[in-house]
Amino acid sequence: TDADPDWRLAGGAAAKAPNRSFESMTDVDRNARADFEVPFDLKGRESRFKVGYAHKNKDRSSEARRFWFQSPSSGNTIDDRAPIEEILADENIGGRPISQFALVEWTRPVDGYTASQDVEAFYGMAELPITRKLLLVGGVRHEAARQEVATVHRLWAKTYEPDLGVIDETNVLPAANLRYSLTENVNFRAGFSKTLNRPDLRELSNGEWDDSDRNRKFLGNPELKQAELTNFDLRLEWFPTADELLAVSAFTKDLGDPIEYAVFVATGSNDPLYQPVNTKDGKLSGLEFESRLALARLGGGILERLGASANLTLIDSSAKLPESLGQQTDNSRPLTGQSSYMVNAGLQFVSTNRAVSSSVQYNVFGRRIDAIGVLSSPNIWEEPRHALDWTASYDLRGVNLKFSVENLLDSPVRYTQG
């Protein structure tokens, strides 16, 4: 193959030279749960009370081995403009430093971690029809959780102390939902709950990992805390028929220590790093409009087998970066991953014998932050994308055959910075 004059094999430091990595991860999950439910009568109306216990435990071991191809000494006969498969051919790799590449290990102390997560919960709930039209479902969950991650590769365990990331919290999480039936097919709902968002064990490590799909490098954060959310919502819903729905909802969330991704360029490097961080003063509120209609109301024939659905969500959100993380690029910004609007629409078909079904789904979202810019790095934004997907399935004597096509509009995924 002729040499390509537009490129040359990079050499020098291990991170820039051709390299290979071998990664492994083992998870062991254990789960136990017990529930006890008591039905009872409340003024002639069927009610129930439920208590339970749940225990989840996870152990993880993760490591990577890294090797780089150290370039041979100057004066070798290898053409560094040739195709990569010719440069790194078997005959060019060996132990002769003058004429061959040497495969050198550069596994780092942060390339391995061991972790555990233990969550123990006691909970109780009651379903109480207060009146014929008013239903209350409420409960509380007591949750004790501990996450611990020790970052040090086993090859370096005798040289370095592990870098610890620990979250040890006990939370009481109440929840309540009210449903008031205005008419037989119109309901008003109100809800309140407290929930948690814990980091993944990898995010709590001090290691780096690569996302080859998006060509990004990530760095963990042992200082992460769990996020605590307080949620309120109101909803008015109308069921014209059993298969149809028209609804409008309003919701708000207060987020304590929300977990978001920040992007920065490390000292002495030109490559951006993405790191999960706890921000502050997270707030989110919005409106949602939802519809699901049978097209049979428009006529007979094929319309009797068609249904349409649509959803519009309008969102306003905000969060700030704590002073300890330095100056952020934008002091007034939405939460990462939150668009100001989202639109979903679909058309569904089901055959008379229900053996054949098909749907076309369209969705689009508004511009949203993918990663917060810090240390003079601008925010990274994901630009709006129109997506159209089609799925079809056929039930053949108990065997379900499914066919799907995604992104029929061939819309690109675009990220911009600035």
Asked if the model's pLDDT at residue 402 lies above 50, the reply is: yes
Question: What is the distance of C-alpha 101 from the center of its chain?
Answer: 40
Q: Does some domain include residue 22?
A: no
Q: Does some domain include residue 369?
A: yes
For residue 153, the model assigns a pLDDT of 92
Identify the residue whose tokens are 């056929």.
Answer: 394
For residue 257, the domain's CATH number is 2.40.170.20
Share of the chain above pLDDT 70, in %: 92
> pTM for this one?
0.85
Average pLDDT over residues 347-356: 89
For residue 167, the model assigns a pLDDT of 97
Q: Does some domain include residue 311?
A: yes
Q: Does some domain include residue 152?
A: no
For 273, what's the count of Cα atoms within 13 Å in the CB-facing half-sphere? 18
User: Which DSSP symbol is given to 111?
Assistant: G
Q: 307-326: per-residue pLDDT in tens?
A: 999 999 999 999 988 776 65
Let me know if 246 is exposed, middle or buried by CB neighbors in 10 A (0-12, 13-18, 19+): middle
The set of residues, in sequence order, having a beta carbon less than 8 Å from that of 183 and lying 6+ positions away, is none
CA nearest neighbour of 82 among 162, 6, 183: 6
How many helices and strands, by DSSP H and E, does the chain display? Answer: 1, 22
What is the residue type of 205?
Answer: S
Q: Copy the structure tokens of residue 295.
A: 């097209």
For residue 79, the model assigns a pLDDT of 74
Instruction: State the average pLDDT for the chain.
Output: 90
- Number of structural domains (the chain) is 1
Q: 25-74: per-residue pLDDT in tens?
A: 999 999 999 999 999 988 888 999 999 999 999 999 999 999 888 877 76
pLDDT grade, residue 5 (50/70/90)? Answer: low
Q: Does some domain include residue 364?
A: yes
For residue 302, the model assigns a pLDDT of 86
For residue 134, the model assigns a pLDDT of 96
Q: Does some domain include residue 13?
A: no
Share of the chain above pLDDT 90, in %: 66
pLDDT grade, residue 1 (50/70/90)? Answer: very low
Q: Which one of 56-60, 84-88, 274-278, 397-401 scores highest in mean pLDDT? A: 56-60
| C-beta separation of 101 from 11 below 8 A | no
| C-beta separation of 348 from 306 below 8 A | yes
More confident residue, 86 or 203: 203
For residue 398, the model assigns a pLDDT of 79
Supply the DSSP string of 169-203, one letter for each residue: EEEEEEEEEEEEEEETTEEEEEEEEEEEEPPPTTT
The set of residues, in sequence order, having a beta carbon less than 8 Å from that of 6 and lying 6+ positions away, is none
Let me know if 39 is exposed, middle or buried by CB neighbors in 10 A (0-12, 13-18, 19+): exposed
Asked if the model's pLDDT at residue 352 lies above 90, the reply is: no
Average pLDDT over residues 335-354: 93
For residue 330, the model assigns a pLDDT of 57
Average pLDDT over residues 81-87: 80
Q: Does some domain include residue 303?
A: yes
More confident residue, 376 or 136: 136
CA nearest neighbour of 382 among 224, 256, 211, 261: 261
Determine the structural domain holding residue 359 and report its residue range: 226-266+275-418
Q: 103-133: per-residue pLDDT in tens?
A: 888 899 999 999 999 999 999 999 999 999 9
Q: Does some domain include residue 117?
A: no
Average pLDDT over residues 360-376: 91
